[in-house]
Amino acid sequence: MLPTLLGDANQRQHHYLYWEYQGKQAVRLGAWKAYRASVESEIELYDLESDIAEQRDVAAAHPEIVARIAEIMRTGRSESELFPLVPAQRRKSE
């Protein structure tokens, strides 16, 4: 992303962007942004072209997009003992 921030027009386009932090996950896929507060939570879906403030969760109206993003959340990450998706305190209680 640095080339874009520096004004380089040759930045490689990504199919999607994926983030995770302490059990939370987010995906940006074109105009769509999805968020999941924990691995047990439902995926929230927002259309950033018409709802930049993320006020309307449209997941129920777009199950095909939610399914695609759920797959990205499952496969777009690498397991890591240093950075587990599920924090240690939650894993111990399961």
Residue with tokens 């995906």: 27
Contact 85, 77 (CB under 8 A): yes
Q: Is the dihedral of CA 12, 26, 28, 69 positive or negative?
A: positive
Run of H or E including 28: strand 24-29
The closest alpha carbon to 54, from 83, 28, 86, belongs to: 28
pTM confidence score: 0.76
- The tens-digit pLDDT sequence of the chain (94 residues) is 677 778 877 767 778 999 998 889 999 999 999 999 998 899 999 999 999 999 999 999 999 999 999 999 999 887 777 777 876 644 444 4
User: Given this model, what pLDDT does residue 90 score?
Assistant: 47
At residue 52's C-alpha, the angle toward residues 15 and 1, to 5°, is 40
